[in-house]
Structure 1
Amino acid sequence: MLPVLSVLLLLLSPAVAWIPVSDWESGSVSSSVGEAGQCICHVYLPDTTFPADRVQQMQEVSKDLLVEVDIYMNKMVGYEGKLEVYLKELKDLTVRVSVLEGSSESYIKLDFELLRIELREFEALVSQLKHSLNSSSPIFDSLHTEILNMTNIVNQLESYDQSNLLLIRYEFAKLQKKLKECQEENDIIEPDIGNCNHTGILSISKPVVIQLNAHLSPSYQYGGWGKDSKPLRGYESMYFYGAYNTPAATAFNLYSDYDKLILRSAFKTHSLSSSWRATGNNYIVHGNAVYYQHNSPFSMTKLNLTSSAFDYRVIPAASARFSYSYSADQNLDFSADEIGLWVMYASEESKGKMVLAKINEKSFGIENEWKTGVFKEVAGNAFMACGVMYVTRSVDLSNEEIFYAFDTKTGEEKQLSIPFQKFQQAYSNLHYNPTDQKLYMYNNGYYVTYNVKFDKE
């Protein structure tokens, strides 16, 4: 056995003095007899070593986290600076948009949507022409490629400024011209311009939408446009346009050719004073003069585009009470064809039925009249072609038809059904031009044309 002193010293040793009694009782202390017969006590101490390696690892992790926090804080500072720049740019952009929206020269999203719609229609037209002609000509592939390119340009330039819009419309007009040529080859074979060796209108082509009016405003829904039906030499390509936001007109703009019309670059503007203000929208240009309706006094008026001189003639029988169905004040409707110059109106004597009158261009007077059997107020509009008056009416929101014809050569009238599509529901001006055998329509602020196909048989 171990001497008593040795046991006491062992018990008082710092290494074991603090061990709980429970550890002793639970077998943390054991004894054995050595080789010399002495008593040996075995004490198993708990793991009380301080985890210095773990603390060091945590310190290193903490340092890494602090570095990352500093990096993210620096990024936040940078983002804050960029955000201030973006906010300033956004404010500047808001101001630019406000200025653009308030400008009379501004354009609207409808322009680009219209371009997309028209491009899709042209793509369908190319496919239709290719199928109807059963042709695999490279021209169709070329046109299809141009349509795809124009679609990409529209998408890219939608957010650009006004000058780019004019550029795309110019390119669009050139593409449209090619498509019209293809359509003419399919719809009209060798048109006999200036002659009337046919039995009347056979069909009207699909509408060709040129563009929104020169004011670039859909509110200018009343007006007219087209070409001189009897142009002076050197003015064969001239176009005219006049419109307002009421059934009236205060000015007529002249464009030297089709490209200038598209670019809205007028070479001359005739402003109308209050004493010569135009009323109604069924005016035309014929022989370098604008013929339009004037209400004080109620008369047909002539404006010479060269001298800017005015003249007027009162038609005693004409009434200001009867108008076309689409809008008010469309009382005197002027038209020109291969035969000459005409005016259509209704009178109290005819009880609202249309009267057709031939105008003597030299005397600016009425030389002949015909009473027809169609009521003016049920008609959408009317025009003359080869001495025959054709009257239109609405079929539904998207379609119109020529339903009546009166032949001045025979005095006969006919009920017809020649349908054609409208671009939009209402229009204020429709007239035929004998120089290219086209119908010119001013449809709710847009320039629209149609090819006219005559029955050669």
Structure 2
Amino acid sequence: MSLSNVFILMIVIPQILVQSVRGKDCVCDLKNTDPAFPKSKFKRVETIALQCTATITSEKMLENDRRLLGLQQRIKQLEDYVGILEKEDDKNLYGAVSLRIIELEYAEILSLLDKLNKTTFNSQHLNVQTVADLQDMKDTMEELERFDSMQVMKKERQNRSIKKDLEKCREDKAPPPAPTLPPVKGRCGLGQIVSVKGPKTYSLTVYSTSYTYGAWGKDANPAPGDENKYWLMVLYTSNMYGNFIRQYNSLSTMLLGIGHTDVYIASSNPTTNTVQGPNMVMYGNALYYNCYNTYSVCRFNMTARTVSNVALPKDTGYNSKFPFGYLAAAYSYTDLDFVTDEFGVYVIYATTSNFGNVVISKVETSTPPVLGQTWSTSLHKKTVTNTFMVCGVLYATRFIDNDKEEIFYSFDTKTNTERYDLKINIKKMQANIKYLNYDPRDHLLYVYSDAYILTYEIVFN
């Protein structure tokens, strides 16, 4: 810049004059003929740029796409409901109930459509304003560029153009890339899920067919010496509540129903700290579950026999507001689903602010537990029968018929990408899968299905 040149001259010229005059003082006045740099204009451009950065975030740019995708899925689900209703031959016994369900679904679609229209209008207004701001910034920067007397910006543009041409030349000369495998899901190196085999284990519990809601499995992060232990909990009060965990030293003792230890969380059902709903997990010698009559994550320490908790957002659905299920049935008190994977514990739930769609929150396994990173999806929770996580990817299942469940959906927490087209079948032995969780240690799915306990093997590509 010319101002820098002036500064240099004011230092160098007096030194030369002092040497020539030999000791006599000399004063030299320099006048800058260039106009003063308009700092106010530069500051205004900087302010506009900061405002644009704060206003136009990646989350807002994806908001319309996410809502539109969710709307498309809701309309498709409504079409399925209407198709089922048309095929019903129940002498109008359940017709009124089905019509009411469809009416509610239609009302929610209209509400979602209204919000989408408002968001679209706001986006259009923001787009017009942003175009005007960018043009203003462009004009101002071109005006300020004439103060670049050393032509730094011009040379920089030339360098970028040369680099771009060079990169294009390299690409043209490079050999064609070798064929690649399909993109890998997750971050564990396991690859994509291509199928589910089994069941490998299929047995009634010691309780026989008395209790159709429950959960079982292994500790996903066991203490030393507890690697082979299994746990079981049945909801023996109204298929809703449980207050003790039954532990076995091995799978064989569990299948035989011998040698167990009962650990009590609460004295009775239902009461404070009672387990509500079947969607619980064991991780790090602690049980994570939905506490009775709250929207809280509860953590029961198996050694200290103490309970700590953390509340989810206030608009979280609980007490069967957003349960799992399908048109013919809802799985009671399944609002909060706890899952484990290679990275820890998550809680899956739905909120009214996300229109009843699934929300994922990482649970930091401290005492008390703390909610970590959270992701919002476009998957409506009431259209799902179960969820599980593998390598940071959420998978959801839906009811196809009494013999088949389908893994149809995935959400990658690393890339925030959703898919509705997986079509991976699970062969069922009973009609309803009330509990499903993935164990990262043996890569098995643990299932509780109408009083039966099962395991399935996940096959990766």
Regarding TM over 0.5, the answer is yes
**1:234-249 correspondence to structure 2 within 5 Å:** 234-245=225-236, 246-249=239-242
Q: Secondary structure at the match of 1:275?
A: coil
Does the C-alpha gap of structure 1 residues 437 and 195 become closer, same or farther in structure 2, counting only changes over 3 Å?
farther
Mapped partners of 1:346, 1:424: distance in 2: 27
Q: Is 1:338 aligned with 2:336?
A: no
**1:323-334 correspondence to structure 2 within 5 Å:** 323-325=323-325, 326-334=330-338
Deviation (angstroms), 1:391: 0.1
Q: Secondary structure at the match of 2:456?
A: strand
Name the structure 2 match of 1:378.
Answer: 383
Mapped partners of 1:250, 1:306: distance in 2: 16
Q: Which amino acid aligns with 1:393?
A: R
Mapped partners of 1:256, 1:306: distance in 2: 16
State the TM-score, normalized to the length of structure 1. Answer: 0.55
Q: Is 1:409 aligned with 2:407?
A: no
Name the structure 1 match of 2:100.
Answer: none
> Could you list the runs of 5+ residues in structure 1 that have no partner in the other structure?
1-193
Mapped partners of 2:250, 2:190: distance in 1: 30
Mapped partners of 2:308, 2:344: distance in 1: 19
Q: Which amino acid aligns with 2:362?
A: K
Deviation (angstroms), 1:338: 0.6
Q: Alignment partner for residue 316 of structure 2, among 315, 318, 327? A: 318
Q: Alignment partner for residue 399 of structure 1, among 384, 395, 404? A: 404
2:436 and 2:446 in contact (8 A); partners too: yes
Mapped partners of 1:440, 1:312: distance in 2: 25
Mapped partners of 2:407, 2:439: distance in 1: 17
2:310 and 2:371 in contact (8 A); partners too: no
Q: Which amino acid aligns with 1:254?
A: Q
Name the structure 2 match of 1:226.
Answer: 217
Deviation (angstroms), 1:431: 0.3
1:222 and 1:248 in contact (8 A); partners too: no
> Could you list the runs of 5+ residues in structure 2 that have no partner in the other structure?
1-185
**1:61-106: per-residue Cα shift (whole Å, max 9, x none)?**
xxxxxxxxxxxxxxxxxxxxxxxxxxxxxxxxxxxxxxxxxxxxxx
Name the structure 1 match of 2:56.
Answer: none
Q: Secondary structure at the match of 2:226?
A: coil
Name the structure 1 match of 2:203.
Answer: 211
Does the C-alpha gap of structure 1 residues 264 and 195 become closer, same or farther in structure 2, counting only changes over 3 Å?
farther
**1:285-324 correspondence to structure 2 within 5 Å:** 285-316=282-313, 317-320=315-318, 321-324=321-324
| RMSD, aligned CA | 1.6
1:223 and 1:247 in contact (8 A); partners too: no
Name the structure 2 match of 1:422.
Answer: 428
Q: Which amino acid aligns with 2:246?
A: N
Deviation (angstroms), 1:364: 1.1
Name the structure 1 match of 2:67.
Answer: none
Deviation (angstroms), 1:370: 0.5
Q: Secondary structure at the match of 1:241?
A: strand
Q: Alignment partner for residue 359 of structure 1, among 332, 356, 363? A: 363
Q: Secondary structure at the match of 2:190?
A: coil
Q: Which has the larger radius of gyration?
A: 1
Mapped partners of 2:450, 2:348: distance in 1: 22
2:222 and 2:283 in contact (8 A); partners too: yes
Q: Which amino acid aligns with 2:383?
A: V
Q: Which amino acid aligns with 2:391?
A: C
Mapped partners of 1:266, 1:385: distance in 2: 32
Q: Secondary structure at the match of 2:349?
A: strand
Mapped partners of 2:384, 2:405: distance in 1: 10
**1:269-301: per-residue Cα shift (whole Å, max 9, x none)?**
122233221111000111111111113433111
Mapped partners of 1:195, 1:265: distance in 2: 39
Q: Is 1:259 aligned with 2:252?
A: yes
Mapped partners of 1:260, 1:448: distance in 2: 15
Mapped partners of 1:195, 1:354: distance in 2: 22
**1:133-187: per-residue Cα shift (whole Å, max 9, x none)?**
xxxxxxxxxxxxxxxxxxxxxxxxxxxxxxxxxxxxxxxxxxxxxxxxxxxxxxx
Mapped partners of 1:290, 1:242: distance in 2: 11
Q: Is 1:453 aligned with 2:459?
A: yes
Mapped partners of 2:349, 2:414: distance in 1: 19
Mapped partners of 2:187, 2:372: distance in 1: 23
1:226 and 1:239 in contact (8 A); partners too: yes
Name the structure 1 match of 2:54.
Answer: none
Mapped partners of 2:293, 2:235: distance in 1: 19
Mapped partners of 2:198, 2:256: distance in 1: 24
Mapped partners of 2:256, 2:430: distance in 1: 23
Name the structure 1 match of 2:441.
Answer: 435
Q: Which runs of 4+ in 1 moved over 6 A?
A: none
Deviation (angstroms), 1:195: 7.8
Mapped partners of 2:222, 2:346: distance in 1: 17
**1:31-110 correspondence to structure 2 within 5 Å:** none
**1:214-256: per-residue Cα shift (whole Å, max 9, x none)?**
22x2121000001111111100001000003412222210111
1:302 and 1:312 in contact (8 A); partners too: yes
Q: Which amino acid aligns with 1:295?
A: Y
**1:350-402: per-residue Cα shift (whole Å, max 9, x none)?**
11100011111125111111001111101010000000000000111110110
Mapped partners of 2:259, 2:335: distance in 1: 29
Deviation (angstroms), 1:259: 2.0
Mapped partners of 1:308, 1:250: distance in 2: 12
Deviation (angstroms), 1:266: 4.3
Q: Alignment partner for residue 444 of structure 1, among 446, 450, 460? A: 450
Q: Secondary structure at the match of 2:442?
A: coil
Q: Secondary structure at the match of 2:291?
A: strand
2:348 and 2:359 in contact (8 A); partners too: yes
Percent of aligned pairs with the same residue? 33
Q: Which amino acid aligns with 1:330?
A: T
